Structures are given as C-alpha cells and as structure tokens.
Structure 1
Amino acid sequence: MRTAILVDGGYYRKRAFSALGDLSPKERADELYSYCKRHLTEKKNASVKFEHELYRIFYYDCPPSAKKVYHPLTKRTVDLGKSDLYTWTKEFFEELSKKRKVALRLGILSDALAHYNLKPDSVKKLINKTIAVDDLKDSDFFLSIDQKGVDMKIGLDIASLSYKKQVDQIVLIAGDSDFVPASKLARREGIDFILDPLGANIKGDLSLHIDGLRTCAKAYLPVEKS
C-alpha cells in the first residue's frame, strides 16, 4: 500500500510545541519526519503488522513574515524579520527540505493587514474588571496574520493524488473540518483516508467522512484521570 502523508504545518507546530515542548529547528524537523513514518506501520493485532510504502510527505505552511508591525501597548514598531520566530521558521523549513521524500507546499501570509490583537481571555478580564488597561502586558496580545493558499493546496493535492491513483492511502495530519469535501472525493475514488488530529478532539460527524482516526504518539493523547 502506497501512502501519502499530508501535514497542516501551522496546526502541527502548535500541537507539537504544546505536547513536546520547544525544540531546535533540526530537532523539530527530525521529530516530525520520525512521527510521520510511524504511520507506515499498521498493526492488525499483536503479532501481525503491515509496512506501507511512503509515496511522499507533503508539508503545508507559510513562510514567516518580515513585516514591521506597530504594537499598541509598547507604542513601538516590531520588526518581525528580526524576531526569533522568523529565524527559527526559516531554519525549520530548510531542515525539512533536506529530508528524503518531503515536499514543502508554501502558501503566503496576508501580512498587509497584520496587527496585534488582545487575547480573548484578556478581553474578558477587562470587561469583568478583573484587570485594568494599565495592567495589560505584552503577553496579553497576539499577532494576527491570515494565511492564504494553504487549505487550497491541501485540497488540490488530495484531489490530484486520488484522480491519478498515485496512492492507496492518504494520511492527513490536521485539526479542522475544511478537508471534508476533499476527503469525500478521495473516498469515492477508493482511497483509504486517515485523519490524525494529534490527539485533539474532533467533531463527531467527521467520522462519516474518514476511514480511520489515528494518533501515533502517546504524548499527544489526553492524560487519563485515575
């Protein structure tokens, strides 16, 4: 069975940081590559397992922004091109590009309207008067930049892989339901479609549009209460 693994990069990086902590670009790239390859081993039972052939790992993300953005709290302009995140992301993409059978599919950031927003929790605290405006800190803000083209590239690749019969199975590492139309198409074409939400909860009706749900590392799974 030939398997293609598609990774929503923005979603993966958030989940990996939460579950596994902060890693260097090379360590994160190695971790992602190793994790994806776990999907190639399918266990039927304790004594029987199948090894799938890797067609390719497709990684979808956007290059980091180098825009200068005004911060309303500090009243200073932040040069994103000189940030640690910019440097880390560029090095991470470079490390991924060195991996065998890994294809980077990069969209674009709509950074013309990039701006800093208050986090929802901070807004609630202000409204409830738990904190005052003078109590706000830099950590109460987040940078808002929209991605363009990533979801479209994922959908187009799923359609292309399915119509051309290039693979027998598609594993999608993602967390939202935007892929449902593409997954329906893939299944109609006879593709085994597996979703890996990296341990996150998904909407109940999504099970109608996939052939399986699988997360390959315990670190991503919720801790069971004793």
Structure 2
Amino acid sequence: MQKVAFLIDGWFMRKRVYWLKSFFYDGPGIRDYCMQHLRNNDGDFIAKDARLYRIFYYCTAPLEMKGLHPITDHPVDFGQTAVAQQQRKLFESIKRTPNIALRIGKTVWRNKNWIISQDQVRLLLKKRISVDDLSESDVAPQIEQKAVDMKLGLDIATLAQKKLVDSLILITADSDLVPAIKLAKNEGLQIGLDPLWADISDDLAEHVDFITTQLPEPAY
C-alpha cells in the first residue's frame, strides 16, 4: 500500500487559504485538506488505496520582542498582538490533531527595521500621498523565517533515505527546495506539488513529478 507524507510551508499555506477564503484554518481543517488529496485522486499519481503516513507542518514561533512603532512612537509588544495570539492558538490546534507533526523555526526581526506596505509605497512614489499620510497599519516589522527551509529539507532527506514513504506532496511554492526534491527523487520517491494556485518557478515545476491542488480555481 502506498504511503504518502505531506510537507507544508505553513506561512505560505496560511496566506493562500486566507486570501482564497478556502476553509477554516486550524489543525483539523489542514488535515482534512490533505486527506482530500487521497480521497479525490483518480489513481494516476497517487494510488486509490494510498494511506496517510504523516503531515509535517513547518512554521515559525511568534515574534517575542518589543519595539516602538515608527508612526505613533507607542511601545509594541509583538508577543501580545492579535497575530501572535492567533498563531499560538493555531499551534495548539495542530498539536491536538492526529497525524500532524509541528516543526517550529525562529522568527527574527531583521535589524529592527520596519517596512511600508507595497500599496502605500506605490502611492508614495507616485506622490499621491506623503509620509504624513501613513497610518499605524501601513507599516510592519521586517521579520524573517529562520530554520524552516532547513527543517523541511532535512525531513525530505530522512523520509527518502529511510524509505519511510513512497510519495511526498509538498504544499509550497519555494524553489529553494529543489535540491532536496532531486535527492528524494533519486531515492525513488514520487514528488507532488500543491502550490494552491500560486505562481511557481519553472525550476520547481520541472523537478516535481506532478502538480495538483484540491482548491477551486480562483476567479481573479
């Protein structure tokens, strides 16, 4: 019987699901989405009797730092924001969901920089607004994920080299995973990609065996 593992780029999936308004984003919702891949397949790439091995979910912990907001000069405790609380609630939901392994990396505030939203940058460059027009919600800390790609790549290598599964389905659009994908294919694994209707690079598309999704095509 074919065993399938799912490896999920958490930040990517969450952003896509929220934008597409696809399903309630918690542990059971994530698991059910992965199971749809097994229930709804036609047997071309995934066997009809394939079973779930495990879902690996990769994300970073909430930012636990304090700073001064550049617009208001008010102190901000990022660990107490609604976003941080929502992230902790999601992690607890995932931990309680069967067959999901949570892999947590680090969130880093890059040089304590703040960035302006792209929409507002465009308006500034076109001189339609001035800096004085920026509001508190127009800027955000410049944060980066650390160790997520490393954990994801190591798990791909472990699953492949120990022959723990027959197929992987990656929910991501990150072409940095191509070397790990090539290693897994050399070990005999079949690699599927679910980009959730996001654009992907030619390099990533070339090295996976098939591309699929269970989300309805968005009407852009």
TM over 0.5: yes
**Once the 2 structures are TM-superposed, how far is the Cα of residue 99 of structure 1 from its aligned partner?**
1.0
Name stretches of at least 5 consecutive residues in structure 1 with no aligned partner.
Answer: none
Aligned equivalent of 1:155, options 126, 143, 153:
153
- Aligned residues of 2:105 and 2:145 also touching (Cα < 8 A): yes
Deviates more, 1:28-37 or 1:3-12: 28-37
Match of 2:15 in 1: 14
8 Å Cα contact 2:7-2:56 kept in structure 1 = yes
Query: Where does structure 2 lack aligned partners over 5 or more consecutive residues?
Result: none
Partner residue in 1 for 2:43: 44
**Which amino acid letter does the alignment assign opposite residue 3 of structure 2?**
R
1:70–1:115 contact (8 Å) kept in structure 2: no
Tell me if the contact between 2:172 and 2:194 (Cα under 8 Å) persists in the aligned partners. yes
Counterpart check, 1:2 vs 2:7 = no
1:223 aligns with 2:205: no
Please state whether the residue corresponding to 1:107 is helix, strand or coil.
strand
What are the superposed Cα offsets for residues 38-74 of structure 1, whole Å, 9 maximum, x if unpaired? 12232138xxx70311111000001111211221111
**Structure 2 residue identity aligned to 1:44:** G
Sort the Cα spacing of 1:22 and 1:187 in 2 relative to 1 into closer, same or farther, 3 A: closer
Which amino acid in structure 2 is aligned with residue 91 of structure 1? Answer: K
Within-5 A mapping of 1:180-199? 180-199=178-197
CA 1:77–1:5 in structure 2 vs 1: closer, same or farther (change >3 Å)? Answer: same
Q: Secondary structure at the match of 2:193?
A: strand
Q: 1:125 aligns with which of 107, 123, 126?
A: 123
1: CA distance between counterparts of 2:78 and 2:53? 36
Across the two proteins, how many residue pairs are aligned to each other? 216
Whether the 8 Å contact between 2:197 and 2:213 is mirrored in structure 1 is yes
How many Å separate the matches in 2 of 1:161 and 1:33?
19
Alpha-carbon shift at residue 76 of structure 1 (Å): 1.3
Assess if the C-alpha contact under 8 Å between 2:109 and 2:141 holds in 1.
Answer: no
1:178 aligned counterpart, secondary structure? helix
Give matches, 1:32-71, under 5 Å: 32-41=30-39, 42-44=41-43, 50-71=48-69
Displacement of 1:21 in angstroms is: 6.9
Question: Equivalent residues in 2 for 1:23-38 (5 A)?
Answer: 23=24, 28-38=26-36
Whether contact under 8 Å (1:29, 1:92) holds in the other structure is yes
Output the CA distance in 2 between the equivalents of 1:192 and 1:200: 21
Match in the other structure for 2:108 = 110
User: How far, CA to CA, are the matches of 1:170 and 1:73 in structure 2?
Assistant: 45
Deviations 1:79-138 (A, max 9, x none): 112211111111110110111111011111123734321123322221221101111112
Paired with 2:111 and 2:65, the residues of 1 have a C-alpha distance of 10
Check conservation: 1:69, 1:115, Cα contact below 8 A: no
8 Å CA contact retained: 2:60, 2:145: yes
Q: Do the aligned residues in 1 keep the contact of 2:55 with 2:99 (CA within 8 Å)?
A: yes
Runs of 4+ in 1 over 6 A off after TM superposition: none
Which residues in structure 2 correspond to 1:79-94 (within 5 Å)? 79-94=77-92
**Contact 1:65–1:111 (Cα < 8 Å) also in 2:** yes
CA distance in 2, matches of 1:39, 1:114: 41
The answer as to whether partners of 2:27 and 2:95 remain within 8 angstroms in 1 is no
C-alpha distance in structure 2 between counterparts of 1:61 and 1:16, whole Å: 15
Whether the aligned pair in 1 keeps the contact of 2:168 and 2:192 (CA below 8 Å) is yes
